[in-house]
Structure 1
Amino acid sequence: IIGPRASGGCRRVRGPELRELLDSKRDVLFDCDGVIWNGEAAVAGAPEAVRLLKQRGKRVFFVTNNCTRPRGNYAHKFSRLGFSDVSEEDIFSSAYCSAAYLRDVARLSGKVFAIGCQGVLQELRDAGVDVVAEDSAEGPDTSIYDCPLDPDVRAVLVGYDEKFNFMKLAKACCYLRDSECLFLATDPDPWHPLRGGRVTPGSGSLTAALETASSRKATVIGKPSRFMFECIASQFDLDPAQSLMVGDRLETDILFGANCGLCTVLTLTGVSTMEQAQEYKDSEAPEKKDFVPDYVVESIADFSEALEDE
């Protein structure tokens, strides 16, 4: 197979050449949103692609910055959308990896103040990380002066939170006045696409607000950070040279692959376009080159066609 970036990257691949690429790798890492599914609908051909890869002895993992669900809920979604052979152990979300970081790397001895939805809170609890409980007595007129701060907080974690408000921002900022308090973010995604051309602010936008208020920078756990790959590798002994990263977002998925030394494939069923990838390729800025995928496919349905076309 022609090696990564043999022609400068960003090269369309399909058919026998794509099959040769897949045959050359042992492990395939997929992003979920925009690659495996869009909303509540599987991308056409995605269940078949995953099935065929596993039939050929490939180990398949799902690496998502979406922290809204615990892993068990993701496993149910895979099953509901027609993926018959995906287990909870195959799924690595930014919420799960954030909890693993606090438990195994930081070895947090106190509590975490978590800004996030149920996926973040559940993964923290499942990992045995003590989470500060929300104060049900707080109302719309509550001020930061009325809120007791938990003296046992040793970390602040920011994830996607549809109930993000000024009080959460103020509390987190107070905790981060202690320079020993860890400051983590599940992921840097600035926004997420919704149906009808609308978008919703992502974890990255909430983290940016707290970074401004606290004059501190968060440690990012999700893509493009290497930690998500290290989290999988610690459990499954992954070799970067034998691994392929497939994603739809250049600034997270493709950069993640580059940061971890993985061959990368951009699929055009999600956020980023071929034109954007080409712009990065043509850029004279060296730091932009890591946003350039090694290969491009229209959809992971191309994987199915390549693997079936023996």
Structure 2
Amino acid sequence: MKLFLGVLWLHMTPLPNSSNVMNLFRKFGKQVFYVTNNSTKTRDDLVEKCRALKFQANKDDILCTANLSACYLQSLSCKKTYVIGSEAIARELEQVGISSFGIGPDVINPNTPYSTFEKDPEVTAVIVGLDEHFSYPKMVKAATYLNDTNVHFIGTNTDERFPDFSKDVVIPGTGSLVRCIESCAERKAVIMGKPDNYMATMLMERSNIDPQRTLMIGDRCNTDILFGTRCGFITLLVLTGVTALSDVEKWKQSEQQEERDLVPNYYIDALGDLLPYLKELESEIP
């Protein structure tokens, strides 16, 4: 189940009754997984946030792209990584014994020509996640490392932009940065997050789930719902985030299979709207 802006909370404000719904699923004996493309938080960070907002959660319940990036590179025996991204990625890498650098500002120095950049020969991977300090020097370094085809290229996710509830400002997502590096490196990244395969593989490996009895809840059809469709899950769209019902109606009429795959099995205005139905089920439990 999805853990991201627009589904369970807005920043540090839980959406009405969302924690009650999620906790009732657990009370009914259901496995609950919080699956997020957010690369700015570690699993520990997300457990802490869940508990602060009254969601029951343990570390093993969470799949986040910072951790998945570290797991993926650990499986490839990588030892050092150049990171365009957040401290969360660096912390997850450190926990599996991989060193990293590149976090934080890297501004243009007019006195230092780019041609003087010297690669660290120990770097065997480049990770691109959300980075508010994204800059031209970082592009130079990432593309230079990736010019060596033996260097692995990881993108945490491909979300194009974040939902803008003010409707006045476009907030670029990680996918915008990943595509930028793909363009200058002339290579495609291996993507960790939804709707790509690695997250699905890790979810299946970490749990014994039956796809036909698994519900994927999300607010973004081109990641969450498409991920659920590809995995064979039942899908539920909540309308408190990215995707609008008008988008779904348009895709329903499309002749393109790619767009029809974005259509959820069900939709609901908000996750908390499930609470009365779950309460009714709870009352029937002896």
TM-score, normalised with respect to structure 1 = 0.85
- The change in CA–CA distance for 1:195 and 1:127 in structure 2 (over 3 A counts) is farther
Q: Does residue 95 of structure 1 match 2:66?
A: yes
Deviations 1:273-301 (A, max 9, x none): 11101111110112211111011111111
Query: In 1, Cα distance between the equivalents of 2:158 and 2:175?
Result: 4
The counterpart of 1:78, out of the listed 50, 53, 66, is 50
Cα-Cα RMSD: 1.9
Asked if 2 retains the 8 angstrom alpha-carbon contact of 1:265 and 1:295, the reply is yes
**Residue 88 (structure 1) shift:** 2.1
| Structure 2: gaps (5+ residues) | 282-286
Aligned to 2:217: 246
Q: Higher mean Cα deviation, 205-214 or 190-199?
A: 190-199
SS at match of 1:153: coil
SS of 2:127's equivalent? strand
| 2:25 aligned residue | 53
More deviation, 71-80/53-62: 71-80
2:65/2:156 contact within 8 Å kept: yes
Counterpart of 2:30 in structure 1: which amino acid?
K
Alignment of 1:1-310 (within 5 A): 29-83=1-55, 85-104=56-75, 107-132=76-101, 140-141=109-110, 142-194=112-164, 196-197=166-167, 198-310=169-281
Q: Which amino acid aligns with 2:175?
A: G
Q: CA deviation at 1:194?
A: 4.4
For 1:236 and 1:217, how far apart are their aligned partners in 2? 29
Report the Cα distance in structure 2 between the residues aligned to 1:88 and 1:109, rounded to whole angstroms. 24
Separation in 1, partners of 2:93, 2:246: 39
| Structure with the larger RCO, 1 or 2 (CA within 8 Å, 6+ apart) | 1
Q: Percent same amino acid among aligned pairs?
A: 34
CA distance 1:135–1:277, change in 2 (3 Å) = closer
Alpha-carbon deviation of 1:137?
A: 9.5
Residue range with higher mean Cα deviation, 135-144 or 31-40: 135-144
Residues 135-176 of structure 1 show CA distances to partners (whole Å, capped at 9, x for unaligned) of 999763343233321111111110000011111110011011
Within 2, Cα distance between the matches of 1:96 and 1:307?
Answer: 32
Cα deviation for residue 96 of structure 1 reads: 1.1
CA deviation profile, 1:18-61 (whole Å, cap 9, x unmatched): xxxxxxxxxxx223221111122111110100111111000111
Please give the alpha-carbon distance, in whole angstroms, between the structure 2 residues aligned to 1:229 and 1:288. 20
For the 8 Å contact 1:116–1:158, the answer to whether it is kept is yes
Matched positions, count: 279
The 8 Å contact of residues 30 and 246 in structure 1, kept in 2 or not, is answered as: yes
| C-alpha separation in 1, matches of 2:271 and 2:104 | 45
CA apart distance, 1:110: 3.8
The one-letter amino acid paired with 1:45 is N
Alpha-carbon offset, residue 134 of structure 1: 5.9
1:9 corresponding residue in structure 2: none
Q: Is the 8 A contact 2:2 2:217 kept in 1?
A: yes
8 Å Cα contact 1:108-1:154 kept in structure 2: no
Cα deviation for residue 261 of structure 1 reads: 1.3
TM-score by length of 2: 0.92
Secondary structure (helix, strand or coil) at the match of 2:250 reads helix
Flag structure 1 segments of 5+ consecutive residues without an equivalent: 1-28
**In structure 1, how many angstroms separate the alpha carbons of the residues matched to 2:59 and 2:209?**
18
